[in-house]
Structure 1
Amino acid sequence: MKKLYILGIMSVVCVFFGSCNDEWKEELHSQMISFKAPVGSNGVCDIYMRYQPDGTASYELPVIVSGTRDNGRNINVKIGVDNDTLYHLNTEKFAVGRKDLWYRQLPENFYTFPSEVCQIPAGENVQNYTLNFNLKGLDLNEKWVLPLNVEEDPSYVRNIRKGWCKALLGINLYNDYSGTYSTTLMNIYVDGTTNDPAIVDNRVTRVVDNNSIFFYAGSVWEEDENRSKYKVIVTFNEGELNKDGNMAGSLTIKQGDPTSGANIVPVGDCTYELIVQKHETKPYLERHITILRLEYKYTDFTSDPKNPIIYDVKGSMTMERQINTLIPDQDQAIQW
């Protein structure tokens, strides 16, 4: 009797483990389609494309088949523009009455899709979907987003968890000089005074052309309703190596909107220096440091139109980029 009991237990155990082994042969989680477009703290997925004089650029958006097993069939994923999500993001993110801060949907004339579907072949779990852009004439004073969606189709299942079947692509053009500068050494004085300066921690600069960037004057903040009237355009003129072996040259400063009452004018000689250094602890990284030394004056004519105030801004701005020399694709090599 005891032997029969032991044999019975062994048979149950064998059946249990056999069923477990068979279970691993099946897909434990449904294979679903999604984008690889992680959302940052700003609510969108920032993508970076180098400025080209003709405006052309492209971006490879990964489309993913999730699951515990490799994709075993050919899948044609339909990609379309999502015209709804951006509105909801704007109304949740920005205060009522501040539509001037909203993300703007990129107009159709600035992009094309080579195909309406992303073809994922059997055996592949990730396939890049090419987006072509022509961004010539795009006003970078606005925040542009291309919202995409994996469209419904009976041949596949969309991954709707946390909106992974959507991609809100924030458009960022860059050149060698654009980015976020530390401006703690830029002093903003009321003209004619030399004490108690105002200081702004940083300034985001955006592309004008291959050798030019713009930022907002003085203490004009990124969310000011009149910010476009205070654009300072800085052009990097051809430089040469200085005594330290770094590239250095002069800067040209002008007002972005010639009709604005901001009256932005340079004072004295404005210069730049470009420094390339090896990272102290990570030998595969290069530090590209850009230093601007400048002085300019501008008039705040919108805070109190009846009493405009002239400011004198002087000091230095510094930006650092870290570039991974092991990655040949520059868009990917820059540590954004």
Structure 2
Amino acid sequence: MATPGNEPLTALLTLTTGAAGAVLAFLLGFPAPALTGPALACTILCVAGVPLHVPHILRNVCFVVIGMSMGTGVTPEVYETARQWPLSFLFLALSVCVIFAAGTVTLRRLWRQDRQTALLSSVPGHLSYILGLSTDTRGDIASISVIQSTRVLALTLIVPFAVSMMGYDTTQMGLPGAKMALIPLAVSLLLAMCIGLILHRLRIPAALLLGGMIFSTVTHLSGLVVGHVPLWAAIPAFAIMGTMIGSRFSGVAFKTLVRAFGAGFAITLIAFLVTIIFAVLLIQVVDLPLPQVLIAFAPGGVESMAAMAVILGADPSFVAAHHVWRLVILTFLAPLVLGRTKKSGP
């Protein structure tokens, strides 16, 4: 891991790697290149043993900018489809439970993991919360961290390619229409950051992202602010998000990576297949586009899926609402199941 003495150089290397990955992914025609390119490039360096780190201030600003980008896409027309969301929430809850159960069984039987490690590795989301729970158990924290990070990385890469195969243009970045002026953008960023920090103090998941989205949604619907977040601000935020996803593997022993990567991809495959099944079932009964439901149901990181919604043109409020709902489910479900596991033994 980076030490305080070399942290500025590590940050510079990290951001340079992310930027290079974004440019290369764009030139190669990758879907959502600003997100997938940095994630892949930084992962490769981390696996090779190079320590990477994104400064916290950049991470926080990135979350707020992505939240603001989502808020600018919320229009009055969005609420016309909101009456279909309760059924969608139900399908999402069912898919979360299926992923949770199937992943645990797979890791127990094929990877011979102990019950607590398998359980915590299989939780489809809420990474920081799950790692916090891991410290109170006998689970293998290193394996849990790698498996969960692999899920986030793999879904960040898989979902854009899946949406691209459905015939959607996934190489475009940003939203059409007018752009926010510099002063309204700066003021909005500052006030949205304040709201996000308040939500963070209240222990609300994805607080900075939600702070940006809440402020942007209210000001745009009221007419106080008009226009989308300009590309010069949005694209670096997406790239930093991808860079953070890849840098999760920094400092992890190569032996641990090798052992846990296979389990991580197995969990990802289960999650993606279950997501597709429930998304396809849902669109049979409600009038919603499959790519949008896929992004909303895919159990990747909240912030990365939110960024993907903006990049791929999905309804941002729909995607955000579903990922927050997933976190709410897991907040109560994981400790409940873990408590039973502690009582029943390994």
Band of TM-score, shorter chain: under 0.3
TM-score normalised to structure 1 length: 0.20
More strand by share: 1
Query: Using CA pairs below 8 Å that are at least 6 residues apart, which structure has the higher relative contact order?
Result: 2
TM-score normalised to structure 2 length: 0.20
More helix by share: 2
> Which has the larger Rg?
1
